[in-house]
Amino acid sequence: MQAAPLIETKITKAERTRARLIEVATRLFQEHGSDEVTVRAIAAAAKIEAGSIYYHFASRDEIMRAVLESGVDGARQAVMRAIEEAGADSSPLLRLRAGLGAHFKYTLREHFSSRLRSIRRLPKRLREQHMAQEREYAAIFAGLLREAERKGLLRPGFDLSVVRMLAMGALTWAAEWFDPEGEMSADDVADELMRVLGGGIARGAGDQASGDQKRL
């Protein structure tokens, strides 16, 4: 059907099928949680027979890993785009807000919380591949926090790595309770988080609201 004279660059049928399998698996993992989904179910959803899957993947774990890989990669791209759209010269905290919002929305779409336990079950090799990718992803947010600190935008005394994990964890968990049908939008949640993260909930001017235990 196509010209495609360069055999080297041609997308093979296998590649297309493989891509479709990842796509379908992602959706199923998202809907039912990665544990629930059987190879047979993935096959059925991809309109293929179960046995055929093993032409494309060596094991179920490999499918899992491929899904995670494409997922983290997609999240990374979405987050980077949001950050760029916020403008490179905007406040790092504004960019952080943009990044967290994109992260949350992506998590909701791909529902990556499915990873939770499943990751531990992955064979070491596959797991570490994934972890490396995750660290890279986290570095985006860590970088913004560091930049904010460097620019003197932050109150001193925070362990930024902990702050980052708390903030991202709040959103990861939010993907569990968030109701897309509800009154709040994903952006509302991200905004609320950022309001808390930025200024805290306690009243009191400046250092009085510093959140030290004594002030509580």
Partner DNA sequence: GTCTATACGGGGATAGAC
Partner DNA sequence: GTCTATCCCCGTATAGAC
- By CB under 7 A, the count of residues binding DNA is 20
Are 134 and 72 within 8 A, CB to CB? yes
Nearest of 82, 139, 79, 142 to residue 112 by alpha carbon: 79
201 binds, among a copy of itself, DNA, none (CB under 5 to 8 A by kind): a copy of itself
Interaction between residue 121 and a copy of itself (CB under 8 A): yes
167-186 residues near a copy of itself, rule: CB under 8 A? 167-174, 176-177, 184
Count residues near a copy of itself (CB under 8 A).
Answer: 61
Which has the closest alpha carbon to 28: 120, 118, 132? 118
Residue span binding DNA (CB under 7 A) among the ranges 2-10, 51-59, 99-107, 200-208: 51-59
73 CB neighbour count, 10 Å cutoff: 13
The residue type found at 178 is F
Identity of the residue numbered 144: L
Q: Which of 19, 45, 48, 165 binds DNA (CB under 7 A)?
A: 48
Residues 104, 176 contacting (CB under 8 angstroms): no
Q: Among residues 41 and 209, whose Cβ is nearest to a copy of itself?
A: 209
Per-residue x/- mask for DNA, residues 55 to 94, rule CB under 7 A? xx-xxxx---------------------------------
* Residue 14 interface partner, choices a copy of itself, DNA, none, CB cut-off 5-8 Å depending on type: DNA
State in angstroms the smallest separation of the CB of 134 from DNA.
23
Q: At what angle do helices 186-199 and 160-177 cross, to 10 degrees?
A: 150
Q: Is 92 exposed, middle or buried (0-12, 13-18, 19+ CB in 10 A)?
A: buried
Residues at the site binding DNA, with contacts judged by CB under 7 A: 12-14, 17, 38-40, 47-52, 54-56, 58-61
